[in-house]
Structure 1
Amino acid sequence: MNRLSKFSSPEVSMAFALSALILYIPANIFPFMTLEVYGNKNTATIWEGIVTMSDTGSWGIAIIIFLASMVIPLAKLLILFYLGLTAKSSAHRKLRTRLYNTVEAIGRWSMLDIYLLAVLVAIMKMGPWAHAEPGLGSWMFALVVIFTMISSAYFDPSTIWNDSYDEKS
């Protein structure tokens, strides 16, 4: 049973997923961070950071950032939105169960964002040599992460298998 089962509904989950999907666009368009090192100031979006990493030969880090910051959040949001949209349907239950389990498994890897935050804090602590400021994109990305977590928490997986689902159950 979902930890918020008293309040859970596919519609609430879908509303948070849609909100996160809408915020996903500005999170990837606006600058994520401004980094000043030895007086040189650079502002970059998530995508520009990925391109820079790959251009400098850090393919592994570029791929991890691409997957953790762009592909996985979008996939998770699309799945949550689809699950909310099809919750009252009796079709494709096994597929929807697999999709829900995928979302839950992906959620366990969200700690990668905490690791990235720790690296950024370390950069910010470099004192007079470096200064980092979060951009509008980082605030939008934080909201995407929060709304995704809320959407996932409010989705009750029993609605996938419950033929008599109604909002009061």
Structure 2
Amino acid sequence: MQSTTAKQAGLASCHRCHLLSKLSSNKSICPRCRAVIHSRKPDSIARTWALIITAFIFYIPANILPVTYTSSIGMVQPDTIMSGVIYFIHSGSWPIALIIFIASVFVPLLKLIILIVLLLSVQLRWKWRPVDRTRLYHLTEAVGRWSMLDIFVITILVALVHMGALANIAAGLGALFFAMVVVITMLAAESFDSRLIWDNIENTDD
């Protein structure tokens, strides 16, 4: 016996308070919080693609431009994310280098790739392992915020290291681009509607 989904029953969950309500032919309003109710997030695929492309564009300067400028006794040393990773490797601090590389380089890029795969799976109407794809999406959504670790470290260093001519740390333009990449990928994950993965399965079964 096949169960009836909320969409098939003409019901939808409010995006704000998650109340399950009946959809009308006109614009539906949540009776509890008065938010507009949609069966699926409007223009989910188009918005997610636009955000992913924007994040990829910003990802390049985020890794090329310096994220910090360290000045000490009249000398200024610019550092990118990868130069910081290489520095910690050469100094023997492998755990720190690994954390920075995973949080600042690997995770943002992996998250973008996963979102692209999910978008393609919806557009190409894949029936392959919808449960695993849904879990992968929620995992991607959960770990994305940890990419801000590098920005938090830079913020702390800039706030703490102010010794005039002896030592000073300032944030570079790369840090701004990196923060934008993290925020945009978080918005991309939020704009993607994982229920579209299951729509392909249910439409086939009808």
Task: Name the TM-score class by shorter chain.
Answer: 0.7 to 0.9
SS at match of 1:35: strand
**Structure 1, 5-14 or 50-59: larger mean CA deviation:** 5-14
Residues 54 and 135 of structure 1: CA distance in aligned 2, closer, same or farther (over 3 Å): same
Q: Does 1:71 align with 2:106?
A: yes
CA distance in 2, matches of 1:24, 1:79: 16
Under a length normalisation based on structure 1, what TM-score does the superposition of the two structures give? 0.83
**Contact 2:118 2:133 survives alignment (8 Å):** yes
Across the aligned residues of Structure 1 and Structure 2, the Cα RMSD in angstroms comes to 2.5
**Structure 1, 80-89 or 62-71: larger mean CA deviation:** 80-89
Matches within 5 A, 1:39-78: 39-78=74-113
Which of the residues 119, 139, 151 maps onto 1:102?
A: 139
Under a length normalisation based on structure 2, what TM-score does the superposition of the two structures give? 0.69
Select the structure of larger CA radius of gyration: 2
Per-residue deviation, 1:100: 0.4
CA distance in 2, matches of 1:68, 1:46: 11
Q: Does 1:91 align with 2:127?
A: yes
**Contact 1:10 1:85 survives alignment (8 Å):** no
Q: Cα deviation per residue 1:118-167 (whole Å; 9 max; x = unaligned)?
A: 4223344x2413322222211211111121111011011111111399xx
Aligned residues: 164
5+ residue gaps, structure 2: 1-12, 17-39
* Alignment match, 2:192: 155
Per-residue deviation, 1:38: 3.3
Flag as ranges the 4+ runs of structure 1 deviating above 6 A.
Answer: none
5+ residue gaps, structure 1: none
Per-residue deviation, 1:101: 2.2
SS at match of 2:48: helix
Residues 160 and 141 of structure 1: CA distance in aligned 2, closer, same or farther (over 3 Å): same
CA distance in 2, matches of 1:2, 1:17: 25
**Contact 1:32 1:45 survives alignment (8 Å):** yes
Once the two structures are aligned, what percentage of the paired residues are identical? 40
Q: Does 1:122 align with 2:159?
A: yes
Per-residue deviation, 1:59: 1.1
Higher helix share: 1
Residues 138 and 23 of structure 1: CA distance in aligned 2, closer, same or farther (over 3 Å): same
* Alignment match, 2:72: 37
Tell me the amino acid that sits aligned with residue 139 of structure 1.
L
Q: Cα deviation per residue 1:77-100 (whole Å; 9 max; x = unaligned)?
A: 111122123223132223321320
Tell me the amino acid that sits aligned with residue 127 of structure 2.
A
**Contact 1:23 1:141 survives alignment (8 Å):** yes
* Alignment match, 1:137: 174
Per-residue deviation, 1:114: 5.4
